Amino acid sequence: MEIETRNFGIIDVEKDKIIELKKPILGFDEYTKFTVIDSLDDDVFYYLQSIEEPDLFFIMIDPTKIIEDYKIKVTEKFQEDLKIDKLDDIIVYTLVVVSQRGEYITTNLKAPIIINHNKRLAGQLVIEEDYPTRYYLVQEANNRGEAIG
């Protein structure tokens, strides 16, 4: 199936690469069909691209690449909703926000995106663990353009 995207133009998405969000991203309840696009430049960033809206995408990262001991508890209800049989079936990402002027890049460790890659179901889960909603990956230091992480 071909879909139009803002950043990648027209791309071909195989049917088995379409993910249904059973628990939509907060504020985007009407969009439930997405695909994950790997960054071509690095192994850090991924794109959660809407199948339904070409301009809608989210930048994501694997949080364990920045916080080695990032651990979350997936509730039983959430596991039922995503038909998760075992935790090995899931992939965890966190959403990334880049400020308009690029002075900071953050990720939301408190509300990860959980994907059951076997059933192609996903959702955003607000977790109980004490992680910030804005974890700074890059921040402009002292207006000199020096990055701190």
Tell me which residue of 56, 46, 43 sits closest to 4, measured CA to CA: 56
pTM across the whole model? 0.87
Burial (CB count within 10 angstroms: exposed 0-12, middle 13-18, buried 19+), residue 88? exposed
CATH number, domain containing residue 133: 2.30.290.10
83-117 pLDDT tens trace = 999 989 999 999 999 988 878 899 999 999 999 99
Q: Which domain holds residue 135?
A: 2-148
Give me the number of domains the chain comprises: 1
125-144 pLDDT tens trace = 999 999 999 999 987 554 44
